[in-house]
Structure 1
Amino acid sequence: MQLTSFTDYALRTLIFLASLPEDELTNITEVTELFGVSRNHMVKVINRLGQLGYVQTIRGKNGGIRLLKPAATITVGSVVRDIEPLDLVNCSVEFCHITPACRLKDKLAKAKLAFLAELDTCTIQELLADNSDLLILLTRP
């Protein structure tokens, strides 16, 4: 299974925001430069994370972005569920004529549940805990 780049950057952004001191703000430009992604793409990612309640976006001169929820309460699985289109294959009868007798869709459904169950065991905070190598890479110049 491969996650979309949108989900990838959403997870990276949450990790970066969790690495900042509590309540410290950053901005889209900083996140964009850190991950080398287009500003337009990052605006969409941050906007979606804001809509989902993961980040707080503050407009204005002293505005910016920061985590809205504690990193210890954000599971990787919840983020993936909220952002990623998780339909592995199109099993509609209109698209696939073998759907009524196909056993593959059940196996794929079980695999998806197992994948998400594993991701549910990990929080954004756990990805940072005792990970000085990652913190160095996320440190502002």
Structure 2
Amino acid sequence: MRLTLHTDYALRTLMYLAVHTDRLSSIREIATTYGISENHLMKIIHRLGLGGFIETVRGRGGGLRLARPADQIRIGDVVRYTEEDMALVGCQHPAGTKDNTPCLLADACRLRGALGEALGSFMTVLNGYTLADVVTPHERRCLS
């Protein structure tokens, strides 16, 4: 499984904010730190705000901050929220394959169940970690 850049940047943004809990951060500084387009990052920030992961403060002196403490933000929850398609293969889509054609092997196939179990295990492991767990002292030094 490969996470999208959207999820990667969302996690990086949250990590950055977890390091800078003493102040508000700006989209520009986060974008500059990671070499991300500000326009692309604005879409990610908006989505993270809708999901309740971050708060935005408008106006002069405004910026971004975590909506709750880093030890209360589960990595699996962020991944599940930011990934639009968690299907590992086309037949895991609710309507059949990605192009909506039914799978000819559906009645005899056990692969779908095995992959579903693997994805469940993947998400269980990610939910075992919080944002606080993945921001080590090294990240704190690098992002300060």
Matched, 1:133 2:132: no
Q: Per-residue displacement from partner, 1:4-53 (whole Å, max 9, x unpaired)?
A: 0000010111011011134x201100010011011111001100000000
Matched with 1:56 is 55
- For 1:10, give the aligned amino acid: A
TM-score scaled to structure 2, two decimals? 0.89
Deviates more, 1:81-90 or 1:1-10: 81-90
Q: Secondary structure at the match of 1:66?
A: strand
TM-score scaled to structure 1, two decimals? 0.91
Matches within 5 A, 1:111-122: 111-122=118-129
Q: C-alpha distance in 2, partners of 1:74/1:48?
A: 15
Gapped runs of 5+ residues in structure 2?
none
Task: Report the CA distance between 1:90 and its aligned residue.
Answer: 1.8
Q: Secondary structure at the match of 1:65?
A: strand
Q: C-alpha distance in 1, partners of 2:111/2:39?
A: 38
Q: Alignment length, in residue pairs?
A: 136
Task: Report the CA distance between 1:100 and its aligned residue.
Answer: 2.4
Which residue of 130, 133, 136 maps to 1:123? Answer: 130
Q: C-alpha distance in 1, partners of 2:107/2:34?
A: 44
Identity of aligned residues (%): 40
After TM superposition, what 4+ stretches of structure 1 lie above 3 angstroms from structure 2?
Answer: none
Task: Report the CA distance between 1:61 and its aligned residue.
Answer: 1.6
Pairwise CA RMSD of aligned residues? 1.2
